[in-house]
Amino acid sequence: MDRLSFWKEKIENRLRELFTPQEPRELFEAMSYYLFQPGKRIRPLVTVAVANALGGSQEDAITVGCAIEMVHNYSLIHDDLPAMDNDDFRRGLPSCHRKYGEALAILAGDALLTYAFEVLSRDGVFEELSPKEIIKVMNVIAVKSGISGMVGGQALDVGEETDLELVNRKKTASLFEACFMCGGLVSHREELLNELEEVGGEFGLLFQLTDDILDRDGFYTLLGEKKAKDKAENIYTHLLKRLKELLPRETEEIEALVEMVYNRIT
């Protein structure tokens, strides 16, 4: 088994350890609905890969990555709501609000977001992080998922902001910035946070570009196919170069994740 597959299996197991059945049962089921559907788990994998390349604890990175995955899935529940993207399906299944109703879907999203921070603040959940480092991890995730990041980007999108790169650097890339930065924090490398933030932003922008090219919207519509693909290629090339400069060891997995994202359009 390659290391990414090994980490993914550990992420799946850790998610189920951290996210145990609770009452009200229907709310728990709605919270679990997207979270436990099959997926790539790219955000926690990025977190673990960065920590591994910086010599940090894989176990602590997996726990942080699971919390970020909860934040991501809360955002998907809310994005699908009629007041937002009004999507009836996700991953080939009825969207959360179609299965459980709008009210419970809103509450499931709210509960997933708060549960992520409940996990991060739980006694004994980390092996090596100090209380100060845990607070910093929580702060990074809060900032990157809130008004300065993902939610702010969604607000710009709803408000029909015309600067597509600004929207997506906040709406999509911010949570990837959190993944890279938390990988650094787990590795006790706070001095690298600014550089990790920049690289995470580039990774997130590449992710959105390739999504748009595949879906034929967003950057694809704005730039056209050739220019959108050229932009993706430039980010991909620069990103691999930056990663080799920034990360001192065992970069194969994070490079493989970059290639996995880019190769969707090649």
**pLDDT of res. 158:** 92
**pLDDT of res. 1:** 56
**pLDDT of res. 248:** 81
The H-or-E segment that residue 19 falls in is none
| CA atoms 193, 196, 202, 205: torsion sign | negative
Question: In this predicted model, what pLDDT tens digit does every residue of 73-125 receive, in sequence order?
Answer: 999 999 999 999 999 999 999 999 999 999 999 999 999 999 999 999 999 99
Give the helix ranges, DSSP H, for the chain: 3-18, 25-35, 42-53, 58-79, 96-100, 102-120, 131-145, 150-158, 164-171, 173-186, 193-215, 219-223, 225-246, 252-262
- Hunting for tokens 């708060």 — which residue is that? 114
The arithmetic mean of pLDDT across residues 142-161, rounded, is: 95
**pLDDT of res. 108:** 98
20, 97 Cβ separation under 8 angstroms? no
> What CATH number is given for 3-265 in this structure?
1.10.600.10
What is the average pLDDT value for the chain, to the nearest integer? 96
Question: In this predicted model, what pLDDT tens digit does every residue of 35-86 receive, in sequence order?
Answer: 999 999 999 999 999 999 999 999 999 999 999 999 999 999 999 999 999 9
Measured at the CA of 17, the angle between CA 118 and CA 56, to 5 degrees, comes to: 75
The residue ranges of every structural domain in the chain are 3-265
Q: Is 54 helix (H, G, I), strand (E, B) or coil?
A: coil
pTM of the model: 0.96
**pLDDT of res. 85:** 92
